[in-house]
Amino acid sequence: MGPTARFLASVSRSYSTHSPNVSSRHHTTAFIGLGRMGYEMAFNLFSRTLVESGGSAHFVVCDAKEESAALFVNNFHHHFPGARVEVASSPSDAVVASETIVTMLPSSPHVQKVYATEAGGILPALRSLSQGDIASTLCIDSTTLDVEVARDVAKEVNKTGAMMVDAPVSGGVAGAKAGTLSFLVGGTKPAFERVSPILSRIGKRIMYCGPSGAGLAAKICNNMVLGVQQIAIAEAMLLGQKLGLEPVVLADVINHSTGACWSSSVNNPVPGALPDKEPPCTRDFEGGFATSLMLKDMGLATEVGDLVGCPLPMGEAAERMYKEVIEAEPELANKDFSSVYKYLRLTADEESRKGRPGQSERI
Ligand code: NAD
């Protein structure tokens, strides 16, 4: 299926009205994947690009869930009445209309599908463009996915003559909303130079990590640390309460001591432990970074660890823990991964009910 006639007509109509002498594709940015992260990133990217362009920029969004794309467009129009933002019905439509394409998808299979060589995917659409349009196209994938899959996809995109970088992010939904994300970029140096000013609109630190796949390698290592730390903080916060400590006191101690980390100072899993913040635990772990995505990231680390012969005893233990959480409490799969605390607490309560020795009734 090629680009839908209705979509292309709407794009060209809007340009013939607003800027008849310029190529519309050159001024258009597409964002594919409007989930928890993508929605916030697209909103910031589009609003800042719109302002910097003096109102001439055009935008395209695409999501597997049509309602997510429609919600985004409505909200964007609410904040920027008259802004030109369209919904593309497929990644292929988005690429035909846009020179810059950002993807923010759950994981490897979704990236493979969006960049697929089949109809509706990015690759056939790229190949259908003129040489000039292909050469000016920049694909930025911010998904956290398998390094090898990312390298293969980038290779295929590069073969067409377009540029592609892997640019996974660190900073969570709060960072996406505030425009303070860190981008870990893998690709050629010229691609990094081109992508930096674009990512600077939605991130605070844009770090060059090396060739294609290097951004993801860095991201996977970072998330393995995060996944382990969040479990350690959950255990410590639970243990402290069992020992009679107030969560707010314990969090303050940890956050001013050597145990301080993002999981304790920003994503603390105990409601009320951070009185001046609203981590996901204050919303029954809604929003944030899904436990299922953390399990995916731990799997990316342990799989690649196996592949390169690197022992990861803590990474493997954390992967087992997140798997156990999801198997035992399936509704926590889509909640923030700090809900590992909720699971540990439920387990502790269960043990208390059974009257196991050494279990305190204090919490
Ligand atoms: P999400 O599941 O909330 O969003 C993914 C979006 O992609 C959804 O809207 C989904 O409908 C859409 N999608 C799936 N398949 C699609 C397709 N074929 N075509 C178009 N759209 C499609 O996930 P998220 O939390 O936004 O995370 C996205 C990525 O960012 C993941 O790789 C995750 O590991 C990474 N990440 C997330 C966080 C976080 O705090 N949430 C932080 C850093 C990195």
> Where do the domains of the chain lie?
5-211, 219-353
Q: How many CA atoms lie within 13 A of 2 on its CB side?
A: 6
Tens of pLDDT along 304-322?
A: 999 999 999 999 999 999 9
Report residue 27's pLDDT band, with 50, 70 and 90 as the boundaries.
very high
pTM of the model: 0.88
Report residue 119's pLDDT band, with 50, 70 and 90 as the boundaries.
confident
Q: Is the CB of 162 under 6 A from ligand 1?
A: no
Q: Which of 104, 118, 177 to mutate to test the pocket of ligand 1 (most atoms within 8 A of CB)?
A: 104
The yes-or-no answer on residue 219 being catalytic is yes
Instruction: Name beta bridge partners: 138.
Output: 100, 163
Give the closest residue (by CA) to ligand 1 atom 39. Answer: 289
Distance 144 CA to ligand 1 centre (A): 9
Q: Does domain 219-353 have CATH number 3.40.50.620?
A: no
- Does residue 14 carry a pLDDT above 90? no
Whether the domain at 5-211 and the domain at 219-353 fall into the same CATH topology? no
From 3.40.50.720, 3.40.640.10, 1.10.10.10, 3.90.400.10, which CATH number describes the 5-211 domain?
3.40.50.720
- Does residue 357 carry a pLDDT above 90? no
Distance 235 CA to ligand 1 centre (A): 28
- Kindly report the average pLDDT of the chain as a whole number: 92
- Does residue 164 carry a pLDDT above 60? yes
Report residue 17's pLDDT band, with 50, 70 and 90 as the boundaries.
very low
Give the pLDDT of residue 23: 56
- Say which of 113, 159, 189, 219 is annotated catalytic: 219
Helices (H), the chain: 5-18, 36-52, 66-79, 91-97, 108-114, 122-127, 131-135, 147-160, 172-178, 189-199, 214-242, 247-255, 262-265, 291-308, 313-328, 340-353
